[in-house]
Amino acid sequence: MTLLDFLPSLQHAATTRIDPTVWPLTARVDDLGRLTVGDVPLTDLADQYGTPSYVLDEKDFRRRIRDYRALVPHAEIVYAGKSLLTPTIASWAAEEQVGIDVCSEGELAAALQGGFDPSRIVLHGNAKPPSLLRQATAARVGRIVIDSPIEIAFLACETPRPQPVLIRVTPDIDIHGHAAVTTGVTDQKFGFALANGQAEQAVVRILKQPQLILAGVHCHLGSQIADPELYGEAICRLIAFMADIRSRHGLTLNELNLGGGHAIAYRSGDPTLHLAELSATITDTLEQACIAERFPKPRIVIEPGRAISGHAGVTLYRVVAVKTQPGGRTFVAVDGGLSDHPRTQLYGAKYTVALANRHPIGATQTVTVAGRHCESGDEIARDVDLPTDTHPGDLLAVACTGAYHHSMASNYNMVVRPPVIGVHHGNATEIIRRETVEDLLARDVAWQKRHRSFDALLHGE
């Protein structure tokens, strides 16, 4: 018998705290009311590694990749590393036999250190410096996505051997009202527009460079897309473009990369992109478009990032203060904020928050979970329900923080960045250690010349 058997009402409380569409696959509530992930109580992680801390469910991360491979079997899966990347995480993706896309020297190094075959690496970026292109070609990455005219010249000069490339095309599909961010329209910084022949002009320039092998076309429509028909529309437009290239230049492109941007749920009831529906849309639309253009079916590539790493992550915070303003909101202030949780302020993103250290018995109230930084907009979540007896020392868990949190973390107010803790089958592993004040000052030339430890400074030594 357990406490839940003696007090059945707690079973309902436990169930409502961990909506499986939001929390990691292994998230549970134990008999003491503690949230657990990967069979590890989050309170134990907070005690051992401190707060804030990023917690990453390895089983969830790997399972999402396997779901893609099972449910979208006719597409090659390339993990979008910008969502979350360390050498360890890269090794998980490599072991699951998917590709990876990177967009900086650091991401390239992490992918290679994680054991990725360079031929399975795709290099992205709208303003790649020559040094990055030089490193990518030296590493022999499988694809470089050309995003601007100057990159054609840079690559033609830098690559010591034939280099396969994709051209990023903007198909002018406006997804406002369907998604959080739109990148597939003409008036933005990415890619070559189909309008006015810009994309074709780029193709002509590439074909004049013998060291560049044009393998196919790439597009990215935006983020948090839940409607698979938008990808179907992109397929129709891009197959027509590829057919035009064959007709005008005698080149049959054999790769169509549809990018990522697949929607996931941050809160209960949020719209998501269903993989079976995406797969059916890709299969049916590709068949129809290729028949209509008499074009051979290209290899389809998709690049999920958030949809693989997002749900795997949970961020832990310790409550520092609780206060209610007269006639206003109740603020639950925690020991982190926009430096480790930037998306609320950047995008107005909304998150699920739960008490992690005990059963939330009794009434709840609507609160704003506020951060520690000197910014009025430093909020982790607004209008979320927490117990009325929430107090300093309580542990809060924020769901769905595996994507674009560690990767976008900053040192605003010179606050150190949290560790990343991997959990799997009851074991916890420190993937990234917590940053220290010494780390923050290590690049300061004056600090290097008269280096003393932070503890020594505090004690006047």
Question: How far apart, in Å, are the Cα atoms of 396 and each of 10, 46, 50, 316, 321?
Answer: 18, 10, 13, 6, 13
The single-letter code of the amino acid at 137 is T
Q: For residues 438 and 417, give the distance between their C-alpha atoms in angstroms, rounded to a whole number.
A: 12
Is 404 annotated in a binding site? The answer is yes
Active-site residue 157, yes or no?
no
Closest C-alpha among 273, 266, 269 to residue 222: 273
Q: Is 54 known as a binding-site position?
A: no
Burial degree of 69 (CB within 10 A; 0-12, 13-18, 19+): middle
Is 261 annotated as a binding-site member?
A: yes
Q: Give dist(CA 427, CA 322) in Å, integer.
A: 33
CA distance 54 to 51: 9
Q: Please tell me the distance from the alpha carbon of residue 141 to that of residue 97, in angstroms, as a whole number.
A: 16
Three-state SS at 53: strand
Q: Is 317 annotated as a binding residue?
A: no
What is the Cα–Cα distance from 240 to 55, expressed in whole angstroms? 45
Compute CA 112 distance to the chain's CA centroid, rounded to the nearest angstrom: 19
From the candidates 103, 236, 290, 374, give the one annotated as an active-site residue.
Answer: 374
Which tokens belong to 68?
């893609």
Of the candidates 313, 301, 306, 300, which has an alpha carbon nearest to the alpha carbon of residue 262?
306
Helix (H) or strand (E) holding 239: helix 229-249
375 known member of a binding site: yes
Q: Kindly provide the residue ranges of all beta strands, DSSP E only, lying in 171-271, ordered along the sequence.
A: 181-182, 192-193, 212-218, 222-223, 255-257
Exposed, middle or buried: residue 118 (CB in 10 Å: 0-12, 13-18, 19+)? Answer: middle
Query: b/e string for 119-155 if b means 16 or more Cβ within 10 A?
Result: ebbbbbbeebeeebbbbbbebebbbbbbbbeebbebb
Q: Is position 114 annotated in a ligand binding site?
A: no
Q: Is 306 annotated as a binding residue?
A: yes
Query: Per the annotation, where are the binding residues for pyridoxal 5'-phosphate?
Result: 261, 303-306, 404
Question: What are the residue numbers of the active site?
Answer: 374
Query: Per the annotation, where are the binding residues?
Result: 261, 303-306, 343, 347, 375, 404
Query: Per the annotation, where are the binding residues for substrate?
Result: 306, 343, 347, 375, 404
